[in-house]
Amino acid sequence: MTDRPISTVLVANRGEIACRVFRTCRDLGIATVAVYSDPDAGALHVREADAAVRLPGAAPADTYLRGDLVVAAALAAGADAVHPGYGFLSENAEFAQAVIDAGLVWIGPPPGAIEAMASKTRAKELMGVRPLADVTEADLPVLVKAAAGGGGRGMRVVRELSALSGELAAASAEAASAFGDGEVFVEPYVENGRHVEVQVLADTHGTVWTLGTRDCSLQRRHQKVIEEAPAPGLPAALVEELYERSATAAKAVGYVGAGTVEFLVADGRAHFLEMNTRLQVEHPVTEQVHGVDLVALQIQVAEGAALDPEPPRAHGHAVEARLYAEDPAADWAPQTGVLHALEFPAGPGVRVDTGYACGDSVSVHYDAMLAKVVVTAPTRAAAVRKLAQVLDRARIHGPVTNRDLLVASLRHPGFQDPALLGTGFYERHLDELTRPRDGGAHAAVAAALAAAAARRGRFGGGWRNVRSQDETRTYGPHEVRYRPLRGGGHEVTSPPGVRVLAAAPDRVRLEVDRVARDYDVTAYPDGTVHVGPHRLAVRPRFTDPREQTAPGSLLAPMPGTVVRVADGLAVGDRVTAGQPLLWLEAMKMEHRVAAPASGTLTALHAAPGRQVEVGALLAVVQPGERADVPTEAQEEAPA
């Protein structure tokens, strides 16, 4: 900490959080410096910074996790301060010390405080909580958790004692890859508790703010999806307990700056989870209800300013949804591709934080989050309703996203009633939340008629004297049949009951059951068509080559890197359906790839470090009791 004013800040991060910090810096009249990997050379955070320094390479371990390169970049660009954002090096005490040793201002807590709380095992000991040592059947279910880092990586729920050793190894390997520290521990797993956290902010003059609560219970794979402030429905006495324990934790380690203390609330009790010694992804909901800029306060504290004796009070309610490029119906598989459109309805109480703009590409190298959409309103019900509407009306064109899941979640009775909130929300409701949304058939009609209008505009044509067969166009499960009319326009013969009022290449008006609706249509060269919130894909005339693979073929479900293969796995082994064979890393998460059937492993084309595209052949499992194993010459990996 220092008493000198900061003039130039380097953000040791990328994407949304870098853009977020730059926005506050501009408001404060502070110059900005970005760092970027090779895949991020044209990224939004690079375009928005006053200066940018390249970190050669693509993998985080070679770029954003290289503290020495980041410090050198700050010095080369003339920065006098470093903001770590969240993730990467944000909770690395050695990096914080290196920044300070280089004569730069560290916009974060003291290295000693980071060190004390960085290891979850040490943090729990500090709070009087001991992890499990020897796990027995009576302790199940348990949670295996990485001692360093966060974001759901290095976490496994274990329900059978026989699976514990394998999950410990898997969690350790993932933690080592993500954080450079393979230490893991085991703690009791509380089923369907509420994830509640307290925002703290402390200065160098002894003042510690507890700046309200947040509920982050809706999670997939231990990563948060929807967050809100304040946490609804908590008894006043429990809130005071949370504040007291959070302030005690901050004071115990001499904390300075912004941090978060996390708890699992179950049966009216709060169980300490960890303290995150950084700014949280979900910090905007706290900012919205308390009327503060936490990044500005971080900078002011780093400059030596004192906080007011008491924090500002909360007003209203804020809800945040994380928009991801992923397919929840396909085991949350991350998606890549060009983001053709990312536009949200503007209005009072609507805030969007993003690291993308229209035309940017979503790559396989980093987190799949596209944007955080935040809505603030006087009441929780009003904020939830408005956020669902903002997401529903947004133009999000490109890769598959979790937008429909977010809308369905916000409108689900299990979310709208705070008494039903819990971390098991998606385990209970995912099937119903990922059903195709209503209106897909009529969206397909609009897409087909818009395509017909576009063809007519390019090539001419219209009604013919000889009645022709219906034209057919198929989008996913929806088949549309229509024919041109003598006086112009079209008649839809399937699905029934649809009357065409107008059709242009970009807009179609349909009448169904006497109700007229307009459909905005945008088609892209890759065959995807967006009709309002519906994302449609033209069914190809020819079979996808991936559908012609031999039975038992195990194909890469996403682009990524093979990070490991199951211990001892070799061609000729017997495997069972669902048995994990290998793991792919994509967008900062590990994805388990399992045997598609029980049988014999007859081919294995995966080795750690191999990069694969969607549909790449990883292995072949020949179903049945016996299988012919190819010779070494036959076993060469495909080009």
Q: Which helix (H) or strand (E) holds 156?
A: strand 156-158
Distance CA 529, CA 136 (A): 53
Residue type, 51: A
Distance CA 266, CA 271 (A): 8
- 191, 265 Cβ separation under 8 angstroms: no
- 323, 372 Cβ separation under 8 angstroms: yes
Q: Which residues contact 89 (CB under 8 A, 6 or more apart)?
A: 12, 64, 65, 67, 70, 95
Where are the extended beta strands (E) located within 189-268?
A: 194-202, 208-220, 223-229, 257-266
Q: What's the DSSP call for residue 437?
A: P
Give the sign of the dihedral formed by CA 597, CA 602, CA 608, CA 613.
Answer: negative
Angle, CA of 197, 199 and 204, to the nearest 5°: 145
Give the count of alpha carbons within 13 A of 181, CB side only.
Answer: 19
SS (HEC) of 317-380: EEEEEEEECEEHHHCCEECCEECCEEECCCCCCEEEEECCCCCCEECCCCCCEEEEEEEEECCH
- 228, 380 Cβ separation under 8 angstroms: yes
The tokens describing 468, both together, are 């022709």
Residue of 638, 193, 616 lying closest to 425 (CA atoms): 193
3-state secondary structure (DSSP) of residue 639: coil
Distance CA 535, CA 397 (A): 8
Tell me whether residue 278 is one of the annotated catalytic residues: yes
Give the sign of the dihedral formed by CA 298, CA 304, CA 310, CA 312.
Answer: negative
The tokens describing 201, both together, are 């902010």
Please pick, among 153, 214, 278, 403, the residue that the annotation labels catalytic.
278
- 219, 324 Cβ separation under 8 angstroms: no
Give the count of alpha carbons within 13 A of 39, CB side only.
Answer: 16
Distance CA 293, CA 114 (A): 22
Q: Which residues are catalytic?
A: 278
